[in-house]
Amino acid sequence: MKYLRKFNNHTGYTSFLNSNTYITPNVCLCSAQNEIHFNPYVDPANGHDYSQDYFTLEAIDDCTFSFDCPNGGISLSTDGGETWSEEYGKTEVSVLGGTKVLCKGSIEMSAEGGSESGGSESGGSESGGSGGRFLTSNGRYNIEGNIFSLYYGDNFTEETSLIENAFNSLFSSDIYIISAEHLSLPATTLTDSCYFNMFYDCTNLTTAPELSATTLAENCYQLMFNGCTSLTVAPELPATTLADECYSQMFAGCTSLTEAPDLPATTLADSCYFNMFFNCTNLTTAPELPATTLVSGCYSSMFQNCTSLTEAPELSATTLANFCCSYMFNGCTSLTVAPELPATSLAYKCYINMFQGCTSLTTAPELPATTLAEGCYNSMFNGCTGLNYVKCLATNISASGCTTNWLSNVAVSGTFIKAAPMSRWTEGNNGIPSGWTIQDAA
């Protein structure tokens, strides 16, 4: 009886299936509903290959799935693929908790729609629309299997290509999705905005799918998990070939996330990490950032308002770009250790507002650059109320706005180390704070 089980009621039947304690292969019969379930053999060494399964909705609660497929048909099965019902336009299927609904179809992948980043120097995010959503539910469910069966029907197992905007906003704002752990996204080379906004504001999503792509495209993961407040673990991000805004706002507002995934890329793209962890208020561990050459906006607002972050990642970059680190740690109120900033050649607004509002920071990183760039240190330490030590070796501060409000609202007393020949510093928010001790660098 290890492999055959019979249940008189549906509650016991579904509890057994959801327990995953049975030996496979296994057949279960629920006599009350005359429902049978077959669980195929799973090799414990390799696990189950969900990429070979149809896209599947696994109901947790008794619920109704509603489909709206104006650009193609969809076929549904509730008996493990034995029989299928082909539907067009709007249709509904009501199921009991524990039921799996397999989906295949020819839903047209549309390249229309597009996306806007909605970003600014100071952060924030906007959704890029919700034109891709075709499914709603009134109860909790998990998703698993190969997403490509929605578009390639029975011929999905060998497909890895997709077009622009393919899955844009597919599950956006769906509060009933709980887990996407076993959802297969098989494409290894992505296209523009393909996963843009995909799980935006899915506030009960706890587990993300694996993201195995190694070559990215513009906006491909932008806003993908933005606002997923129940997500506790981010997926691995192995890609080393990035694209403009590829990870922009990807995890913004994921307030349960405590650790960021590794980011191995050494060659960056414009705004690639813009707002990536914005408002991740429980993030305590940041990833290493190995790139030595930065590009426009690459780290802009990356950790803005990460109020639990205590230590910043090392920044070894010596080649900067416009806005590259702007607002990077803005509002990180627990940050006590800032990264070294070794670059000696600065760029337009490269460090603007970088540490603004970091109220726990007491010592600024040494600033070795001798010639400043327009807006480079603008409001850099504004509002760092505990800051009491700055070493700045600049001798040319003539660039427009380079030190505007850079030391506004810092500690009332402190030490400022300057280059010995430098005599053009003024007193106040745009120079050396009043009441601070001034010393020449050795």
Q: Which domain holds residue 403?
A: 284-442
Choosing from 264, 298, 317, the residue where a domain stops is 264
Q: Does 437 lie in the same domain as 289?
A: yes
pLDDT at 277: 98
Going by their DSSP bridges, the two strands 26-30 and 100-105 should be labelled as unpaired
Going by their DSSP bridges, the two strands 100-105 and 141-146 should be labelled as unpaired
Regions in the chain scoring below 50 on pLDDT = 1-2, 110-131
Q: Does 140 lie in the same domain as 114?
A: yes
Provide DSSP, 258-271: -BPPP---SS--TT
Asked whether residue 199 is domain-assigned, the answer is yes
Q: Does 204 lie in the same domain as 120?
A: yes
Asked whether residue 299 is domain-assigned, the answer is yes
Asked whether residue 278 is domain-assigned, the answer is no
Q: Does 410 lie in the same domain as 382?
A: yes
Asked whether residue 122 is domain-assigned, the answer is yes
Asked whether residue 271 is domain-assigned, the answer is no
The 3-state DSSP class for residue 35 equals strand
Choosing from 230, 264, 298, the residue where a domain stops is 264
Q: Does 61 lie in the same domain as 34?
A: no
pTM assigned to the model: 0.86
pLDDT at 131: 44
Instruction: Say how far apart CA 128 and CA 277 lie, in whole Å.
Output: 18
- Other CB atoms closer than 10 Å to residue 88's CB: what's the count? 13
pLDDT at 128: 33
Asked whether residue 71 is domain-assigned, the answer is yes
**DSSP at 138:** S
Q: Does 56 lie in the same domain as 35?
A: no
Asked whether residue 388 is domain-assigned, the answer is yes
Asked whether residue 275 is domain-assigned, the answer is no
Q: Does 397 lie in the same domain as 417?
A: yes
Instruction: Say how far apart CA 255 and CA 37 lie, in whole Å.
Output: 38
Q: Does 255 lie in the same domain as 115?
A: yes
pLDDT at 15: 61
Choosing from 232, 264, 296, the residue where a domain stops is 264
> 317: burial class by Cβ within 10 Å (0-12, 13-18, 19+)?
buried
Q: Does 326 lie in the same domain as 207?
A: no
Task: Domain count for the chain, please give it.
Answer: 3
Q: Does 324 lie in the same domain as 201?
A: no
Q: Does 155 lie in the same domain as 251?
A: yes
pLDDT at 48: 87
Q: Does 188 lie in the same domain as 83?
A: yes
